[in-house]
Structure 1
Amino acid sequence: MSRAFIEGRGAFGCRRVTAQLNREGHACSVGLVADLMRELGLAACQPRAYKRTTMPGEEPVDSPDLIDREFTADAPGQRLVGDVT
């Protein structure tokens, strides 16, 4: 049973392991495989799908310095700046 779990790269749960074992000629039930996997400490881990989050543009974007590096203000709320580093 551990072999079927390892061949599934740790992503096979008790139902898939049971199906694999039944195809190979080892008659077993889902409940039996679930109990054995729990005793052996085998837990399926489904890998997440890769999702690309940053898309490069055609040309670099120029960010102008609108306050000319002058960060002091006379009153609150006149110069709002942020940093994303």
Structure 2
Amino acid sequence: LRIKADLHEQGERVSRQRIGRLMRQAALVARGKRKFRTTTKVKSSRPVAENILAREFTADGPNQKWVTDITYLPTHEGWLYLATVMDLYSRKIVGWALNERLQTPLVTAALEMAVGRRKPPGGLLHHSDRGSQYTSDVYKQA
């Protein structure tokens, strides 16, 4: 259906049967969309930090409270992962990183960018979900 729609947009009028026949002759097969998989898993053996933020998503000044998360971006070449660090005072993204892999270096790079750009004082509250990237020893050390 996607090929037929693309051809129709270009002004070509062909049936699905003709497209199927031509594809078989050329030994081409359609690739279906990949099924979405949940990829963030928490190891139950890791201790869970206390939720100090407690859904208080405001701050009195910059660099007091940062929150971080990962989002998934579908592209023609597969998933791309975006990790961001946001300052709750200004609501600005102060650090970010993109990667094809959902692993700890992705979130560490976003945190390092935020720290490098903002140079926060001591006492900063940094809040994330309990995904394995954020609970890793490497991330906690960073």
Pairwise TM-score range, normalised by the shorter structure? 0.3 to 0.5
Q: Which has the higher strand share?
A: 2
| TM-score of the aligned structures, taking structure 2 as reference length | 0.28
Larger Rg belongs to: 1
